[in-house]
Structure 1
Amino acid sequence: MAGGRTAAASGGDDAGKAHHQHQPPRASSSSMAAPTSTSSLLLAFACTLVVTAVAYSNSYHGKFVFDDLPAIQQNADVDSSKTSVLDVFNDNFWGERMDAHDAQHESYRPLTTLTFRWGHDIHGMNETGFHITNVAMHTIASCLVVVMTPLVIDAPTTPELVLVGSLFAAHPIHTEAVTGLVGRAELLSAIFFIASFLAYTRASKYVGDIKAAATWVAISVALATAAMLSKEQGVTVVGVCLAYELLVNCNLNPIALLLRARSAKGTKRPGGGRRPKVAVSGPSQQQKKDRSSPWITVSTGAVVRLLLLLVLSAIVMKYRVSLNKVHIKVDEKTNPANHMESFVFRSLTKNLYVTLHAWLLIFPLWLCCDWSAGAVPSVTSASDPRIVYILLFYLALAAVILAALRARSLPKTGDQPLWDNMTLDVHSDTIVVRQNTNADPLSVHLITDKPYIGFCLLLIIGARVLAGNRPLHWRSYAAALLALVVAAYSFRTHTRNEDWKDELSLYRSGLIAAPTNAKLHHNAAYYMSGEEQEHHFREAIRLYPPYVSAYINLGVNLAKAGRIDEAIETYRSGLAMHYKHPIYSTDVGVIHRNLGYAYMRKGNLNAALEQFKACLHVRTDRTRCHQMVQHLEQQIAQQQQQQQQQQQHSGSSKGRGSESRSGGDDGGDSQFREKVEHVGGERLARLRREKSGTMVMFYAPWCNHCRAMHTDYIKAKGRLNSPVVAVDCTQQEELCKDQGVTGYPTLRLLGETRQEDVEYTGNREADDVVAFVIDKTRRNRN
């Protein structure tokens, strides 16, 4: 008898003799369930592969979107010709040094970056290659879910294995990780997560062989480390292994513990002694049994496994925490709940996020690439009806957990279809749990930790509940219902893939699900034009007034449209809001710089100088601002000198004085714009493709040397048959930066690519420019 149970009750007549006999190592709890046949697993794998292929058949041609751009396309660590492998382990997920003072993230996922790097070595920046790899990883993760199912659900049938794999593969919420390329971190972490759990269950099979068990625990922790280095949340598999050890191998029974504690508390008198038992309604036979049975039974092997798991995991976690050398502040836009003053409403808002995600598991209709920036309005009032949803969710979750825990205390009967009793066999110092259950409390932990895995397993358990001891056709109904769910999920996944084909489609779909997300309005506007673009920039500002980037981009577009006064007002509003409500990581120097350019176009050089000087105090990259300060100071000094000369010779030089430029004169810039075509990036690219021998001048209206050359450049245009164009770098700042323009004016004869351009460095007279173009064009033809 062990723990109040006889050998007969444990299901083995020879159990009592185990103390006196030497036995070879044998399987513990996880190995006692009936093994799943290889044919069943292979069929489930095949079906999972087919479902994945069909659901993601339209995902292979999507472009780099959203976080794919900084994490892959613009990340130097992905290109082996730019960085070494060691850089991958020194940088965060976005290619920034982990110890950099201006780092924006503490995301450390070197294994995921390595897979991007290897992919780039094979197929370059071809999006299709990255998409194929993501789909393959998702297929592997789905098959691993099938492998772990027998550890959670007792003796799963072949249809159940097929449905688990198909449900996990088809769930639309995975499109964010599969079709969104940067989501590979989730996929890789999931693969290592499940592999780590499987390795730990393998360790628990070795009873009496401490060395073999320790080896498998070490392998499990190594895989958990790999999961963490793929995405930080992967380390939570350690908690899953801990729960498995306690709930399954050690037969932890929380209800028995609570009943025993309540019994001990209820029978004590305040003054000492015991209260007399009430004869009317005494405890039930099952409660008496629970109070007398152990609430946990721990073997030597379990102690060794637990200690090794915890010690190794602590070492890994200490290493990971040591990498966070810079404290990263999360701004209000990214996580508004963290910035709420009220603890109660802050907690309610965070739990609302959990409730929403649980709802999306069941009805994945409103999917969004970004749930930050006010996508889910915060709970700010006790009368908010969404509080009811939070309560209902946690009541349902508590009911599932209690049902799972109570299953350990219920007697095994023919009308108990969900969780049968767990019987115990005692062999030496090891308790072996033979799972007669359809599910154990571990599945509940998977719901809270890896929701998609737990959700799929609970659907299978729900199907068993529906079938129960009912006629056979009920099982057919349950299977048909789940097959219908798989089909619906596959269709939703297929349609969701279309949202990820390009940036604008992704943001438009996000605005349908989260119309209050200021970040999505801003990002969508970036790919729009005209009134629609202006509307979304203004909507982003309305939803989140401190959104400096929205002020910047709105101002730039207004300036390009010639609405300089509105652009100035927009920049000034952005500055006022920033200094009233500063947001971490915002480079307000960009507004100062853009406002300086806007004042220059209005001819207010003193105001422009003031803004560029302000830019020097706040901007990280001060080179351009410093150049502008020097140019403006020189220009203002020249104007002051000219004004002094006019005042000294006002009597004899009125005619000449009237020709000197005032601060509001554009120096002939308007005439230059009329005579010479001004181009942007698209027109410049088209001229390159046409191979027309185009001459281009990159200039700035404030540049004296540029203005001095306007007349000769116009003359050269009239004498050349090939295109002669200009680029105003104060309006096309990013274009000039991309073209490598460092001084004004810069004259180039365009080639097919930037590297083939020929820069003109001769005299700035029309004859010399014309001769240069004719000579170079003739050579190219020959």
Structure 2
Amino acid sequence: MARDHFWCTSADPLIVQWPIDPFWCRAILKNQDLLPETPLSHVFYDDFWGTPLTHSGSHKSYRPLCVLSFRLNHLLDGLRPRGYHVGNVLLHATVTGLFTHTARLLTGRSSVATTAGLLFASHPIHTEAVAGIVGRADILACLFFLLAFLGYLKYCKWRDLVVTGWAMWKWTWLLWTAVCAVAALLCKEQGVTVLAVCAVYDVFIHSRLRVADLPQVFFQKKYRGVLEGLLSLGVMAAAFVGFRVYFMGSEVPEFAPADNPAADSDSALTRTLTFLYLPVCNLWLLAYPRTLSFDWSMDAIPLVESCCDIRNMWTISFCAGLTYVTWLVFGVNQHHGKVKKPTSNGYANHCTASTVSANSASVVANKTNAHRRFVRCGSVSSTDSDDSTKYLRYRASLASLHIIIISLALLVFPFVPAMNLFFYVGFVIAERVLYIPSMGYCLLLAHGVYTLLRTQCDRAGARKAVVGAFVCVILVYSVRTVVRNHDWRSEENLYKAGINVNPAKAWGNLGNILNNNGRSSEAEQAYRAALQYRANMADVHYNLGILLQEQKRYEEAIESYMLALQCRPRLSMAYLNLGIIYAATENKEEAGKMYRHCSAIDITGLKDPKLHEQTKISALYNLGRLLADQDKYREAIEIYEEAVAKRPSHYAPQSLYNMLGEAYSKLGQLETAEHWYRESLAVKPDHVPAFLTMGKLCQRRGEIQSAMDWFLKAKTMAPKDASVYQHYGQFLGDLGRHQEAADSYVQAAKWAPDDFELIFNTANALR
């Protein structure tokens, strides 16, 4: 009987194994939304991993534009990783250039912008976003984030130009801002925070309002432009968030306790102290990215469970520092109107290149080109000199204040969604989440370097020391980035590099890689090392069971699967593989129970629901085979038909159809059998088992030539498949062509030298 293997990912067709790299496999290899035959509309109704958003097991990550970019990669270069990596690198280069341009507009100095751009380009924290395929969501979101922000800068400029016929331009740029903000949101959720950054820019930088002026915005006519901008941003934010919640199904995603242990804690104190401490860890990674990891889940950051924990001192220091900086910034902002502008001549006489450049961001935002053309540098009386100097110093400090404000806005607002304030997130720390906030850090650090050079370094030696220190920072960041990229060159390097941070997860993933590369003894050691750190890891118990099953150490494999089920009772793949082991050891009753239990599991709320749905259908498939092997063909047909009825759209049905045909053929219902064989070939025209079963069907009807044609087609389609030569040899033997039959069996034995039954049949043919 020609056998169809059920769905699996292992090299051994009788073992269901999880993918080695969950991100790459789930987002690319197993994401049906990337395939050309999948309707494009599915991209807009599924999450980032290809699961419908309304499904209880959905991750709720709605990033259709990122998935479309993956689909374009798939169209151009299939599943070759190089194309996806090149795309990420090109996008990172584009974002770096756009960020440098934005920094130039905000600071008015090319040197500051270049410094910020170099920091952003070389920062090691970006390695995960650029080297990791799924990090493209963060890069694309940052790209549209910057485009939306630049559009709002243009809107503010045109809004202040009260000229007939120019109103169209401000609405055009506001529409551009809205479109780019939506695009950022459709790449990653934190992209919508650009609206908050635009609001900060409009109020405190472009319009130069004080905190005390904010209530007057709603009542005074002179603030009508600011009110227009804020209302527009508010409407956008409400619409975008409402749209996002609607597509999410109005439900927050559910995550495993290991993904975010603090969120799973029953203690409100533990949750609060840990969540307050995590921003400190993220800021430390930005400032000192020495220790980086692919995974910060589980116990990588131990929970802060007591007020006596020494780490609370870091939290207190961080909060105090942030509060002080905020008070200082807005305190200075509150008093910026107390220094009066001197006479125009006095001011003009001091319009040196440095002061104009220091104030260019404000000038661009508030003065027309016509006004700047009429500024002239003339003579100034001594009575105006002191006032002019004070005013120009004040203007420089105000420009510096504005840069600090926008830097803090870029640093803080994009990070807010990851702070567990509004909903729990599925990670402790995710380095790629810092891709957008790092712009604020880089801009702030670049401005600090410029301020030191301008105000504190009067001597050449001091200036050289500051420049040398900055060059050292760039070199250290660059070297660290190169080293970290080396870790990302292979999964084995990546997981080994993460052992010091998250040993349980790193050892478990390393075991998968080693097992996949045929290094089974090392893989077993890695699995057992992972379980020493964390004994309740269901996936590690499960993968260890796979390794033991491949080595036919069935008793140990059963024990591992049972331990996996103790940790995760609805682990459908464990039940399926237990059934396979029981069937292989002739314990058919237990095998049937495992298959039936697997097929009845409720997968509501489980991660990767498509995988579990496929596993349940595979269990029914194997149950049907088990019954067919016991000559219970009518019961087998009932099971196969149940599988067909419950089959999800993403489960390829050709094997089910072919096995249905075989069962009907055994019952002598040849016409029905042929119908299902042809249904199998209609779904997958190159399905080799269907060629073999069609050949056997034609042989039973006495259509020898047709049977010969089907067997020869199978040989052409699968020239190295031992089962093809075995069935063809059996066919030739039935015709009395024993020499050719023996030759076919020998060829089959060549491709499957460890198959005892095949070798025995080959010996019989030769005899």
Please confirm whether the aligned pair reaches a TM-score higher than 0.5, indicating the same fold: yes
Counterpart among 389, 399, 414 of residue 437 in structure 1: 399
Q: Give the conservation status (yes or no) of the 8 Å contact 2:47–2:53.
A: yes
- Deviation digits for residues 261-303 of structure 1 (CA, Å, limit 9, x no counterpart): 9xxxxxxxxxxxxxxxxxxxxxxxxxxxxxx9x9999611111
Of residues 395, 401, 406, the one that matches 2:331 is 406
* 1:392 to 2:317 alignment: yes
Aligned to 1:325: 249
One-letter amino acid matched to 1:622 = K
Q: TM-score, normalised by structure 2?
A: 0.65
Paired residue for 1:193? 145
**Structure 1 residues 472 and 121, CA gap change in structure 2 (3 angstroms):** farther
Q: For residue 303 of structure 1, what is the aligned residue in structure 2?
A: 227
Asked if structure 2 preserves the Cα contact closer than 8 Å seen for 1:178 and 1:184, the reply is: yes
Aligned mates of 2:285, 2:465 — CA distance in 1: 25
CA change 1:754–1:185 in 2 (3 A) is: farther
Are the counterparts in 2 of residues 170 and 486 from structure 1 also a CA contact under 8 Å?
A: yes
Once the two structures are TM-superposed, the CA of residue 628 in structure 1 deviates from its matched residue by 4.5
Distance 1:593 1:88, change over 3 A: closer
1:143 aligns with 2:97: yes
2: distance between equivalents of 1:404 and 1:507? 43
Q: 1:230 aligns with which of 187, 197, 200?
A: 187
Which residue identity lines up with residue 372 of structure 1 in the other structure? S
Shift of 1:609: 3.5
- The residue identity in structure 1 corresponding to 2:510 is A
Following superposition, the deviation at residue 526 of structure 1 comes to: 0.4
Matching of residue 626 in structure 1 with residue 620 in structure 2: yes
Cα distance change of structure 1 residues 203 and 761 upon mapping to structure 2, 3 Å threshold: same
User: Equivalent residue for 2:26?
Assistant: 70
Q: Is the 8 A contact 1:537 1:550 kept in 2?
A: yes
Specify the code of the residue in structure 2 equivalent to 1:224: A
The alpha-carbon distance between structure 1 residues 186 and 763, as it changes in their structure 2 partners (threshold 3 A), is: same
* 2:227 counterpart of 1:241: no
Map of 1:673 onto structure 2: none
Residue 315 of structure 1 aligns with which residue?
A: 239
Does 1:98 pair with 2:53? yes
What SS does structure 2 have at the residue aligned with 1:437?
A: helix
Paired position in structure 2 for 1:669: none
1:83 aligns to what? 38
Letter matched to residue 244 of structure 2: R
2:465 counterpart of 1:477: yes
Contact 1:163 1:483 in 2 (8 A): no
The alpha carbon displacement at 1:635 in A equals 7.6
Q: Give the whole-Å Cα distance in 2 for the aligned partners of 1:295 and 1:307.
A: 14
**Aligned-residue offset at 1:514:** 2.7
Give SS of 2:306's match.
Answer: coil
Cα distance change, pair 759–79 in 1 and its aligned pair in 2 (3 A):
farther
CA drift at 1:776: 10
Structure-2 change in CA distance of 1:532 and 1:296 (3 Å): farther
Using structure 1 for the length normalisation, give the TM-score.
Answer: 0.64
| Per-residue deviation, 1:160 | 2.2
2:553 corresponds to which residue? 563
Matches within 5 A, 1:83-232: 83-99=38-54, 101=55, 103-153=57-107, 155-156=108-109, 158-206=110-158, 207=160, 208=162, 210-232=167-189
Q: 1: CA distance between counterparts of 2:744 and 2:521?
A: 46
Deviations 1:442-462 (A, max 9, x none): 221111134211111111232
Report the equivalent of 1:337: 262
CA contact (8 A) 1:65 1:500 kept: no
Question: Equivalent residue of 2:328, what SS?
Answer: helix
Say yes or no: does 1:370 pair with 2:295: yes
**CA deviations over 1:673-732 (Å, ceiling 9, x no partner):** xxxxxxxxxxxxxxxxxxxxxxxxxxxxxxxxxxxxxxxxxxxxxxxxxxxxxxxxxxxx
Change (3 A) 1:741 1:624: farther
Rounded to whole Å, the distance in 2 between the matches of 1:161 and 1:248 is 18
Compared with structure 1, are the counterparts of its residues 212 and 766 closer, same or farther at alpha carbon in structure 2 (3 Å cutoff)? closer
Judge conservation of contact 2:545–2:558 (CA < 8 Å) in 1: yes
- Aligned mates of 2:746, 2:557 — CA distance in 1: 41
2:760 maps to which residue? none
1:626/1:75 CA distance change after superposition, 3 Å:
closer
* Gapped regions of structure 2 (runs ≥ 5): 1-19, 341-349, 373-393, 415-435, 602-611, 633-685, 697-710, 748-767
Deviation at 1:359, TM superposition (A): 0.5
Report the CA distance shift for 1:439/1:776 in structure 2 as closer, same or farther (over 3 A): farther
Tell me the amino acid that sits aligned with residue 363 of structure 1.
Y
Which residue of structure 2 lines up, in the alignment, with residue 554 of structure 1?
544
The match for 1:532 among 504, 522, 539 is 522
Name which of structure 1's ranges 528-537 and 757-766 shifts more when overlaid on structure 2: 757-766
Specify the structure having the higher radius of gyration (Cα). 1
Aligned with 1:97: secondary structure? coil
Q: What is the rounded CA distance, in whole Å, between the counterparts of 1:566 and 1:189 in structure 2?
A: 47
Amino acid across the alignment from 2:322: L
Instruction: Show the counterpart of 2:447.
Output: 461
Q: Residues of 2 paired with 1:634 and 1:231: CA distance? A: 49
Residues 577, 231 of structure 1: alpha-carbon distance in 2 compared, 3 angstrom cutoff: closer
Q: Secondary structure at the match of 1:512?
A: coil
1:597 aligns with 2:580: yes
Q: Distance in 2 between matches of 1:141 and 1:607?
A: 58
> Is the contact made by 2:728 and 2:744 (CA closer than 8 Å) also made in structure 1?
no
CA distance in 2, matches of 1:333, 1:86: 34
* Structure 2 contact 129–138 (Cα < 8 Å) conserved: yes
AA matched with 1:141: V
Specify which of 550, 568, 571 is matched with residue 588 of structure 1. Answer: 571
Question: Shift of the alpha carbon at 1:336?
Answer: 1.8
Displacement of 1:766 in angstroms is 9.7
Paired-residue identity, %: 29
Query: How far off is 1:549 after superposition?
Result: 1.9
2:635 is matched with which residue?
none
Distance 2:566 2:362 in 1: 70
* Superposed counterparts of 1:607-686, under 5 Å: 607-618=590-601, 620=613, 621-629=615-623
Asked if structure 2 preserves the Cα contact closer than 8 Å seen for 1:519 and 1:540, the reply is yes
The Cα shift of 1:475 comes to 3.3
**Correspondence 1:575 to 2:499:** no
* Alpha-carbon distance change, 609 to 126 in structure 1, aligned in 2, over 3 angstroms: closer
- Which stretch has the larger CA shift, 186-195 or 473-482? 473-482
Q: Is the 8 A contact 1:574 1:591 kept in 2?
A: yes
Is the Cα contact below 8 Å between 1:111 and 1:229 reproduced in 2? Answer: yes
**Cα 1:312/1:627, change in 2 over 3 Å:** closer
- 1:30 matched to which residue of 2? none
Cα pair distance change 1:65/1:628, threshold 3 Å: closer
Maintained 8 Å contact 1:111/1:226:
yes
Change (3 A) 1:637 1:471: same
Cα offset, 1:239, TM superposition: 0.8
Q: Distance in 2 between matches of 1:592 and 1:412?
A: 77
1:219 maps to a residue whose letter is W
Alpha carbons 1:252, 1:297 under 8 Å: kept: no
How far apart are the structure 1 equivalents of 2:689 and 2:185?
Answer: 43
- Structure 1, gaps ≥5 residues long: 1-63, 262-291, 580-586, 639-737
For the 8 Å contact 1:66–1:503, the answer to whether it is kept is no
Q: 1:512 maps to which residue?
A: 500
Q: CA deviation at 1:637?
A: 10
Aligned length: 565
Answer whether contact 2:34 2:68 (CA < 8 A) is retained: yes
Deviation per CA, 1:233-284, whole angstroms, max 9, x where unpaired? 1011011111112222343434x589xx9xxxxxxxxxxxxxxxxxxxxxxx
Conserved? CA contact 2:297–2:502, under 8 Å? no
| CA separation of 1:66 and 1:602: change in aligned 2, threshold 3 A | closer
1:196/1:219 contact within 8 Å kept = yes
**Inter-CA distance 407–103: structure 2 relative to 1 (3 Å threshold):** same
| Cα gap change, 1:752 to 1:352, in 2 (>3 Å) | farther
CA distance in 1, matches of 2:331, 2:718: 72
